[in-house]
């Protein structure tokens, strides 16, 4: 099964990032694939945190994406709305909704994580 993870909650809340990291670890352990992790809405605030961020879910998710070569993208449009001009977190790259849209075509399931 090929999954895409869509995270919408602020990293300071931590629950969505923690749940996404736990899901990703379990899915990868069971032999599933994760095509992309996409941060949208308040989740793009994760781009402001350096590594290590001290946010357990964010640090765990960043480590998993690096280890498995999974793109961890923050929505550029959401970053612009929040006046974020770049990614301080080395695992997070700015991405477009178009990149998410392209990835969706390869997915069997989308897992959305929010409050």
- Residue 108 in tokens: 């069997």
Q: What integer pLDDT is reported at residue 52 of this predicted model?
A: 80
Q: What integer pLDDT is reported at residue 54 of this predicted model?
A: 81
Q: What integer pLDDT is reported at residue 106 of this predicted model?
A: 92
| Nearest to 2, CA basis, from 105, 95, 113, 112 | 105
For residue range 43-72, what is the model confidence (pLDDT) as tens digits? 999 999 887 878 878 999 999 999 999 999
Whether 4 has a pLDDT exceeding 80, the answer reads yes
Q: What integer pLDDT is reported at residue 93 of this predicted model?
A: 96
Q: What integer pLDDT is reported at residue 101 of this predicted model?
A: 95
Rounded to an integer, the average pLDDT of 8-18 is: 89
Q: What angle do CA 101, 14, 28 make, to 5 degrees?
A: 55
For residue range 22-42, what is the model confidence (pLDDT) as tens digits? 999 999 999 999 999 999 999
Whether 12 has a pLDDT exceeding 90, the answer reads no
For residue range 73-109, what is the model confidence (pLDDT) as tens digits? 999 999 999 999 889 999 999 999 999 999 999 999 9
| Reduced 3-state DSSP string for the chain | CEEEEEECCCCCCCHHHHHHHHHHHHHHHCCCEEEEEEECHHHHHHHHCCCCCCCHHHHHHHHHHHHHCCCEEEEHHHHHHCCCCCCCCCCCEEECHHHHHHHHCCCCEEEEECC
How far apart, in whole angstroms, are the C-alpha atoms of residue 56 and residue 109?
Answer: 25
Half-sphere exposure of residue 90: CA atoms within 13 angstroms, side-chain side: 4
């Amino acid at each position: 099964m090929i999954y895409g993870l869509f995270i919408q909650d602020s990293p300071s809340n931590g629950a969505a990032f923690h749940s996404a990291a736990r899901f990703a670890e379990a899915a990868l352990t069971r032999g599933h694939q994760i095509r992309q992790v996409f941060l949208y809405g308040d989740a793009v605030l994760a781009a402001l945190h350096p590594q290590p961020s001290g946010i357990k879910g964010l640090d765990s998710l960043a480590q998993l994406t690096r280890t498995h070569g999974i793109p961890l993208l923050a929505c550029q449009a959401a970053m612009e709305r929040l006046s974020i001009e770049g990614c301080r977190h080395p695992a997070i790259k700015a991405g477009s909704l178009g990149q998410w849209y392209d990835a969706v075509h390869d997915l069997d399931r989308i897992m959305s994580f929010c409050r």
